[in-house]
Amino acid sequence: MHSFGTHALAFGLSAFVGGFVQQLLMIAVLKAHGPESALIPLLGMVLAISIVFAAADRRAKTVSGLDITAGCLVGSFVLVGAVALMYGYANIRPGIAGDLMYGLALLLDVAFLLPAGVAVAIQWWLLRRRPAPAA
């Protein structure tokens, strides 16, 4: 089990890098102007990810518990993103706001799920190394 400082470092670093990736993707892919308003929901997602990893770290006896947790989180992000894109693409209609659902699905994937996946990878990488046992 890791200390509070290790979990705080994992949260801080994953929030910083996830936010950086989010801002880059929103500007480059979505051509967003003023995308900083999306940082607060991403911070909530990273906090939830940190809580899940802290609970898994507390319960896991080996590193494989954290591996399974990271795999399940990334798998669920991929599944939600794919379903959202399929639903959005299926609902494209001509006319006003015909591609609204597709735009929302793209926003979900680019602005939240990809940066959250980066946050999961960072937290997994930082927490999978077990501290030396106390003598």
- The residue ranking higher by pLDDT, 92 or 70, is 70
78-129 pLDDT per residue, tens: 999 999 999 989 888 887 777 888 999 999 999 999 999 999 999 999 998 7
Q: Which residues contact 21 (CB under 8 A, 6 or more apart)?
A: 114, 115, 118
Average pLDDT, stretch 16-38?
93
What values do phi and psi take at 33, rounded to 5? -110, 120
Domain regions of the chain by residue span: 4-127
Global confidence as pTM:
0.88
List of residues 6+ apart from 6 with CB closer than 8 A: 126, 127, 131
